[in-house]
Amino acid sequence: MKLFLDTANVEHIREIQSWGILSGVTTNPTLVSREGRCMRDCLEEIVSIVDGPVSAEVLSLDTEGMIREARELASIDPKINVKIPVTPEGLAAVKALSSEGISTNMTLVFSLNQALMAAAAGATFVSPFVGRLDDVGSDGMALVRDIVSVYRNHGVGTQVIAASIRHPMHVVQAAMAGADIATIPYEVMVQMVRHPLTEAGIERFLRDYEKVRAMEAGK
């Protein structure tokens, strides 16, 4: 499973990119608004840092507006895929954009039927929102499992992004569910790499090797 960062913060993207494990980035209007910069500025900097796909979301609600915005966003860089909410207008936009060769990420997906329609429209990616489903008492990860299993049964090429990830266990569960990608907030990515036994192990190795250094210094 590929690991994407779910943020528009370029310092965070630079840091995780430097770890050598980052395959892409997803943004949304809320994440961009936190940075106090316009969408285009953020995206131009993000694509200069990241090697893989970068999602950017449209704000229009009508098909024509979505298509117009999508073309503008896609013209920024070939890495950009356009996030479009799963509505009738959004499906029509994805259909039109996929025939133009513009990559799309069907977002705000909360049901298997929505995911089936996203695939039928030709979406490159589909983003089920795990955490937001959990928040309303549904099983968000069950939706990821169902989408993966139905897409596999029917040979669907749309890639599944487990989105709205809230904690490291969501990432583990997304991988076990067979998601192609998990898009992960910075704080969760940092939690994922940490383990108290790793830290204690490093400390002990360094402490023990001090004896060798002392021995060598005494020769």
The residue (of 124 and 183) whose beta carbon lies closer to ligand E4P is: 183
The CA distances from residue 102 to 10, 59, 216, in Å, are: 24, 17, 62
Entry field: residues in the chain: 219
Our CB check for ligand E4P shows the closer of 86 and 212 to be 86
User: What sections of the chain are H helices per DSSP?
Assistant: 10-18, 29-33, 39-49, 63-76, 88-100, 112-121, 130-135, 140-153, 168-177, 186-193, 196-218
118 or 163: CB nearest ligand E4P? 163
Is residue 6 close enough to count as binding ligand E4P by CB under 6 A?
yes
- Cβ pair 128, 160 in contact under 8 A: yes
Give Cα 51 to chain centroid, integer Å: 14
CB 89 within 8 A of CB 63: yes
> From CA 173, how far away is CA 134, in angstroms rounded?
13
From the CB of 119, what's the least distance to ligand E4P, in Å?
17
Residue 132 as a binder of ligand E4P (CB under 6 A): the answer is yes
For the segment 27-46, give every residue that binds ligand E4P (CB under 6 A): 28
Which 93-112 residues touch ligand E4P, going by CB under 6 A? 107
Candidate ranges 8-16, 127-135, 174-182, 191-199; the one touching ligand E4P (CB under 6 A): 127-135
Answer yes or no whether residue 69 interacts with ligand E4P by CB under 6 A.
no
Return residues touching ligand E4P (CB under 6 A).
Answer: 6, 26, 28, 107, 127, 129, 131-132, 163-164, 183
Active site residues: 83
